[in-house]
Structure 1
Amino acid sequence: MGEQVIKMPDIGEGVAEAELVEWEVAVGDQVREDQVLAAVMTDKATVEIPAPRDGKIIWLGPDIGEIVAVGSPIIRMEVEGDGNATPGEMDEPVMRSAVDDGSEPQSPGAAARAQEGTAPAPAETAQPDAAVPDAKPAAPAKPGSAPSGNYKPIAAVPRADGEKPLASPAVRRRAMDVGIDLRRVPGSAAANRITMDDLDAFIASGGEAAAHSARRTRDTSVDDVKIVGLRRKIAEKMATAKSRIPHITYVEEIDVTALEELRAKLNAGRGEGRPKLTLLPFLMQAMVRAIREQPQMNARYDDDANVVHRHGGMHIGVAAQTDNGLMVPVVKHVESLSLWDCAGELSRLAEAAKDGTASRDDLSGSTITITSLGAMGGIVTTPVINYPEVAIVGVNKMRIMPVWQDTQFVPRKMMNLSSSFDHRVIDGWDAAVFIQRIKALLEAPAMIFIED
């Protein structure tokens, strides 16, 4: 038998370190070649680390949320034949917390031993059937499915006060979706870690009903959720934007009745293979025309060097909510795209952001941003600028409102734009002129397509 060391991969583009955001395996697990072992993140790109060969996991290095240097060992496997381990690679890598508190870095194994006062015990072989006596083979139940007769009820035994259930983020998300308290789910893997199979068995045995019945009891628990991965990066960027940029927010009401009529006609007559038009491609085209008149809006501010970089290319970021959190895919060179081109790129980027296939280039390089919550957009919002940009245009929900025209009220489709600007480099008057220009174009949408 040999030992295979898996190191933090070189993700490229000069990245020297990455954050561990998810473990897909535990010590003691048998894994197959190409099976996903972990996920790491740098900026907003997530990379999965596969197993290079069949083997057994004998050591996992960093904890979730820790930053690991490229080339540091993070996993050790026991494999058939010769491995690749050398004496120098047997040492645990030195890592730092994702939230640097100024303390001395140490290896996760050393930290665990310091807390427990003992050396780590060898991993026990997982006994998945221990929690389900007399269980017969059965397919795992889907969330919300009826209990299967193949399982006998699992005793929902709460963990001791303060004891936290061990589970991967995927298991935690699944449990949250179906309303299961993981403290009530027995774990079958090493260190009582809860696997997806454990959760399936708990649901199939009627544990879901048991968990729901406990909802009316007093709950004094405190669930500590470590901010890692994309959520940590979002938090850091929002904090930077609000602490460094003095925001000014300007709200204007827009009559989009004519725009909606045009959009409906274009969608009804669109050719095969063309994406359905939403409001956003029209807004993007209007922004292109408005930015030609006010190029200072399409900029990034280097406040350390006191330089505003005005970009000729209009790279519009579109904030998108995904299961993992807020992401901002970027439509590049909108000034060179048609209305239908914008719609196609928006569709492609939205799908890539949702299924996790968006590339590093897809998620970087924006010079101005649009944010929209669709039907949940509210009447007014106060968007946070996507640092280091200087402007963000926020789309609020559309409503049919009575509007006075001539001698009577008539129903019109109305929508607010709530937009924020960096008041250090953009005056309130200029912000108003910019939004008024967009308003004029959206209220008379034919003007969007007339070349100067």
Structure 2
Amino acid sequence: MGKYVFKLPDVGEGIAESEIATWRVAVGDTVREDQPLVDMLTEKAAVELPSPVAGTVIELCGQPGDRIAVGAPLVVLEVDGAGNAKDEPPVVRKPAAAPMPQAEVPSVKAQTAPPASAAVAPAAQRASAPTQPARRKPGEKPIAAPAVRQRARDLGIDLRLVVGSGPAGRITHADLDAYAKGASRAQAGAQVAPRTGVEEIKIIGLRRKIAEAMQRAKQRIPHFAYVEELDVTELEALRAHLNDTRRPEQPKLTLLPFLLRALVQVLPRFPQVNATYDDEAGVLRRYAAVHCGIATQTPSGLVVPVLRHAETLDVWQMAAEIRRLAEAARSGKATRDELSGSSITITSLGALGGIVSTPVINAPEVAIIGVNKLVERPMFVRGAVVPRLLMNLSSSFDHRIVDGYDAAQFIQALKQRLEHPATLFLTEGGA
């Protein structure tokens, strides 16, 4: 028997290191050739690495969240024959902490809460009295002298809510004073223990990649936002009609395909918006094609699959492709090519979209279009107050590349098409 050291290969993106996302095997497992060993996280996606040989796992050289250099040992297997580790020097590593679970499971450090009686009694009383005030049973009449009862009535205090510190729970003037100051309000009714737990969550995997990307984008890109209100009453009527009359094989239409259709028509007039900026090289790349990123929430975090060549698709095809990409992203099956190469991004939180948002640009792009929720409000139309369906577009732009005037013109052009949806279906010459 021999040892086979499987080293991290170059996964094809020219990277120097990659992060362990998920182990597919454990020490002691018998694996076959080409069986998945581990998912490694790159800048774009999780890459599944298969075993080059059959054997038994005897060492995993890292934990989820650890970064491994290309060419460094990743898995050690015991194999039939000599293996490849005969002349390998011993691998020296820093002592590893206890293995992390595959999922990002928070560990809770529970801090001991003070006894309930300590939370109830005033500080002066705890210092002077060896016992705690007696608490009345539900429905039990409070005990108090006539003068105390009269003073409580004058103060508007319900004696049933006051905890008495006197013998047998008798309420005193001092108890009224404490209650009036709010000190004993926490004693009334059921006692609620303070929450003292603290969660420590190691940020690894996709969540760390998202954090790093957002930090770079905000540090390096001078964002500016532009928000415009759209009247989408006619667009919603058209969408409802198309959904009611669609064929069984056609997907259900959301607002996104119509917005994407408007982008396809408008972007040729604003090439600086459909672009990426390499700020290190000082190069702006403007694209004739519309490769639109569709920000998608997944169980692991936000990812941006890319709908390529949107200019070649009709709204039905766009809807089908948006759904396919979203399903692939949420199931973790989106490929690296499907998660890279966008030239502009659309982000939407659907019904949770709020009134206004300030989306973060998906670098190295220079623009992102944010869709807010649709609301019905009264509007003046030709002198009459009528109900209309309104929606905001909240968009962000890279001010190094896109001027405010150009951004405003771009959004206004989208507005014109979405508010007059017939123009979305005109030919290029008619648009």
The interval holding the TM-score normalised by the smaller chain is 0.7 to 0.9
Structure 1 or 2, whichever has the larger Rg, is 2
Q: Does 1:376 align with 2:376?
A: no
The residue type paired with residue 2 of structure 1 is: G
Give matches, 1:27-66, under 5 Å.
27=27, 29-33=28-32, 36-51=36-51, 55-66=55-66
Residue of structure 2 in register with 1:123 after alignment: none
The residue type paired with residue 63 of structure 1 is: Q
8 Å contact from structure 2 (residues 232, 390) kept in 1: yes
Q: Does 1:315 align with 2:268?
A: no
* 1:18-65 CA distance string (max 9 Å, x none): 2112234444x3334365442211122212334556654322212332
CA–CA distance in 2 between the matches of 1:26 and 1:182? 28
Give matches, 1:242-391, under 5 Å.
242-391=218-367
8 Å contact from structure 2 (residues 31, 57) kept in 1: no
Q: 1:85 to 1:307 in 2, by over 3 A?
A: closer
8 Å contact from structure 2 (residues 63, 100) kept in 1: no
Residue of structure 2 in register with 1:449 after alignment: 425
Aligned-pair distance for 1:16? 4.3
Q: 1:304 to 1:72 in 2, by over 3 A?
A: closer
Q: Does 1:396 align with 2:329?
A: no
Residue of structure 1 in register with 2:102 after alignment: 169
Residue of structure 1 in register with 2:67 after alignment: 67
- The alignment partner of 2:272 has SS state of helix
- The alignment partner of 2:88 has SS state of helix
Give matches, 1:94-113, under 5 Å.
107=92, 109-112=93-96
Taking structure 2 as the reference length, what is the TM-score of the superposition? 0.74
* 1:205-248 CA distance string (max 9 Å, x none): xxxxxxxxxxx866655443222222222112111111111111
The residue type paired with residue 72 of structure 2 is: S
CA–CA distance in 1 between the matches of 2:76 and 2:273? 51
Q: 1:47 to 1:257 in 2, by over 3 A?
A: same
Aligned-pair distance for 1:421? 0.9
8 Å contact from structure 1 (residues 291, 298) kept in 2: yes
Aligned-pair distance for 1:406? 2.9
1:409 to 371, 376, 385: 385
How many residues matched? Answer: 346
CA–CA distance in 2 between the matches of 1:432 and 1:227? 38
8 Å contact from structure 2 (residues 63, 99) kept in 1: no
Residue of structure 1 in register with 2:175 after alignment: none
CA–CA distance in 2 between the matches of 1:167 and 1:243? 31
Give matches, 1:80-229, under 5 Å.
81-82=80-81, 84-89=83-88, 91-92=90-91, 107=92, 109-112=93-96, 166-170=99-103, 172=104, 220=196, 222-229=198-205
8 Å contact from structure 2 (residues 4, 85) kept in 1: no
Q: 1:219 to 1:40 in 2, by over 3 A?
A: farther
CA–CA distance in 1 between the matches of 2:311 and 2:325? 18
Instruction: Give the root-mean-square deviation of aligned CA atoms.
Output: 2.5
8 Å contact from structure 2 (residues 262, 417) kept in 1: yes
* 1:342-399 CA distance string (max 9 Å, x none): 1121111111101111111111111111111111111100011111111111000111
The residue type paired with residue 46 of structure 1 is: A
CA–CA distance in 2 between the matches of 1:382 and 1:83? 59
Uncovered stretches (5+) of structure 2, i.e. residues with no partner: 111-191
8 Å contact from structure 1 (residues 23, 168) kept in 2: no
8 Å contact from structure 1 (residues 44, 230) kept in 2: no
8 Å contact from structure 2 (residues 108, 197) kept in 1: no
8 Å contact from structure 1 (residues 20, 38) kept in 2: yes
- The alignment partner of 2:19 has SS state of strand
The residue type paired with residue 91 of structure 1 is: P
The residue type paired with residue 22 of structure 1 is: T
Taking structure 1 as the reference length, what is the TM-score of the superposition? 0.70
- The alignment partner of 2:202 has SS state of coil
8 Å contact from structure 1 (residues 31, 51) kept in 2: no
Q: 1:47 to 1:226 in 2, by over 3 A?
A: same
CA–CA distance in 2 between the matches of 1:415 and 1:16? 45
Q: 1:351 to 1:90 in 2, by over 3 A?
A: farther
CA–CA distance in 1 between the matches of 2:268 and 2:291? 13
Q: Does 1:440 align with 2:403?
A: no
Q: 1:400 to 1:313 in 2, by over 3 A?
A: same
